[in-house]
Amino acid sequence: MQKLVTLAKTLSDINRVKILSLLKREHELCVCEICDTLELSQPLVSRHLKQMREALLIESKKEGKWIIYKLSLDENLHYLLDTIKGNIQILPRPIKCLK
């Protein structure tokens, strides 16, 4: 039950939903790609990513100086994102960073 409440709280912000949707579509992104795509500041995106990581919705890995984010393997999260997939198509394509 607590996991459902945490998921609902995390998804209560439109920017976090957009970030999750981008990660669902693109599989892996760095912070700068998310910032540029959604036209959000780096500190704001980093705060959202931290909340989503703490809620176990996303995972991160370090590649050189970059931190790459991807969705967790949580089946419930993937099911939920599949139900809103129409919104995923309307998001712009990420602008790739020079890695």
Which domain CATH number covers 49? 1.10.10.10
In a domain, 95, yes or no: no
Q: How far apart are CA 41 and CA 35, in angstroms?
A: 6
How many folded domains does the chain comprise? Answer: 1
The model carries a pTM of: 0.76
* Residue pLDDT, tens place only, 14-29: 999 899 988 988 889 9
In a domain, 94, yes or no: no
In a domain, 96, yes or no: no
* Residue pLDDT, tens place only, 36-94: 999 999 999 999 999 999 988 999 999 998 899 999 887 777 677 777 666 555 666 67
- Between the CA of residue 6 and those of 2, 11, 38, 53, 97, what are the distances in Å? 6, 9, 24, 12, 31
